[in-house]
Structure 1
Amino acid sequence: MERAAPPARTDALETAARAVLTLLSDSRTEDDDGEWHKRVRLWEERGIRKVVRRARGAEWRRAEALPGITVTGQAAEVRVFPPVPLDGWPRDLARLQVSGTDVADPEPPPAPAPGTPVLWIGPELRMSAGKAMAQAGHGAQYAWWGLPAAARTAWRDAGFPLAVRTAESGVRWARLTGSGLPVVRDAGFTEIAPGSCTVVADHPDLPRG
């Protein structure tokens, strides 16, 4: 997040979600003999905690030198790394700051195009952009888990089109959380209460009810 040209909030959230999907669909993760396969599977079994930190300048260049994948949005750049234990972070990641990840949209984002997968955020939640990026990543991962193989392949081949939007009302949010679509419930480590519903993953190929 460069000071002079930070990304818009929605761009950052959508890029973070696509970064998670890119990691999950990478051959290093999917192949049984892939170098990230066992680490990702163990992480999925123990809980998919995600941490978002910001980097700029030399910090970003050092982070890009570590094994991972960089995904770009309209202005956002997100580098996603295979999971590591909380006490085993590489020094160049551990020294990065959590603060400074809060950015805003200069104007409300447009309605998603018909048929676009949408990660809906609860309208009453107050989350920093960094926290919301992690939640969008969870929602994308839940969607990925719920899709049949053919739908996963089609989504990946299309470049993981998606939108992140805030539900327009509490009534709409209640319908979404009761629809049978995947719902992310936060563990409560930071910012919001444990068990809070944060994201509903709405993909056309996900089962409902």
Structure 2
Amino acid sequence: MPKEALFDEPLRIAHTLLSERAGDGPHGEDPNDPATVQAMQIALHIPKQDAPRRTDVLEAAARAVVKLCLDERVATDPEFRAALERWYGHLIRKVARRARNTAWVKVQDLTGVTVDDDGAQVRAFLPSAVSEVPADIRKLQISGTELPLDHPNDISDDAPVIYVDGSLDMTLGKAAAQVGHASMLLAAHQSYEWVAAWAQADFALHVREVSTAEFAEFLAAPGAVPVRDGGFTEVAPNTVTVVAIP
């Protein structure tokens, strides 16, 4: 068997699962059954000194989420696959938290994927019921995670772009969850061949926060993949928060 096939088959299996189970719905949960309230936890490494740029953190978050969803362990580890299936079958929540110092080091031992993007580090963890989040993750702070807006360079390649509606003034944690959702939905909506090429590029992408007018233009672009938020935090239900352009 060619070496490429050994690499491709796990990716194909993971992509098929993502496409079939995590598309546009239907999804739901029963508040009376904690096992149905599933979430992916995301740790943003925000040290006090030499903090990363907001844009770099968002790009790392988006890449970490899609890399976890398309990880080869979907094909080789039944528990890994089952955890994703449970999450895909419900509301696909994400919770972003701040980590630094030893707390960041400790969570590297928990099942997930870490991405380092221009010095910004983010780890996406295997989803679980929110009632079963590991203690080392539960200790990480959810609120108060913020970085100032920055001014990234112009985009000079053809990597996918995730545009954020800047008028929503989402916190860093909220925006990280949204771009993470966009990256996985983007993969779910593309062909396997497209995703395989993206994987070869290590899931390179860009994130840009734009005005309402610009956002509306991108939303109308051919192939656009929008994210409609559930409205649990910060924005109203069904608000389109971000849009991915392949």
TM-score of the pair, normalised by structure 2: 0.77
Shift of 1:123: 3.0
Mapped to 2, the partners of 1:171 and 1:187 lie a distance apart of 23
Alignment match of 1:16 (pick from 54, 61, 76): 61
Confirm or deny that 1:129 pairs with 2:151.
Answer: no
User: Aligned partners of 1:33, 1:76: CA distance in 2, in Å?
Assistant: 29
2:116 corresponds to 1:72:
yes
Aligned residue number for residue 129 of structure 2: 85
Q: Is the 8 A contact 1:23 1:69 kept in 2?
A: yes
Q: Which has the higher helix share?
A: 2
Deviation at 1:33, TM superposition (A): 4.8
Deviations 1:23-64 (A, max 9, x none): 0111112x1754311111221121211100011111112211
Match of 1:63 among 102, 107, 121: 107
Partner SS for 1:201: strand
1:173 alignment counterpart? 215
Aligned residues: 200
Q: 2:81 aligns with which of 16, 30, 37?
A: 37
Tell me the equivalent position of 1:27.
72
Farther-moved stretch of structure 1 (66-75 vs 136-145): 66-75
1:181 Cα deviation from its structure 2 partner: 1.6
Q: C-alpha deviations, 1:64-101, integer Å up to 9, x for none?
A: 12122211111211111110001111111111101242
TM-score of the superposition, structure 1-length normalised?
0.90
Deviation digits for residues 96-126 of structure 1, max 9, x if unmatched?
1012421124x41122224121001113111
Amino acid at match of 2:195: R
Structure with greater strand share of residues: 2
Map 1:164-203 → 2, pairs under 5 A: 164-167=207-210, 169-179=211-221, 181-203=224-246
Cα separation, 2, equivalents of 1:145 and 1:56: 32
Percent of matched pairs sharing the same residue: 38
Q: Which amino acid aligns with 1:178?
A: A
State the shift of 1:7 in Å: 0.8
> Which runs of 5 or more residues in structure 1 are unaligned?
204-209
Match of 2:12 in 1: none
Q: Which consecutive unaligned segments of at least 5 residues does structure 2 have?
A: 1-45
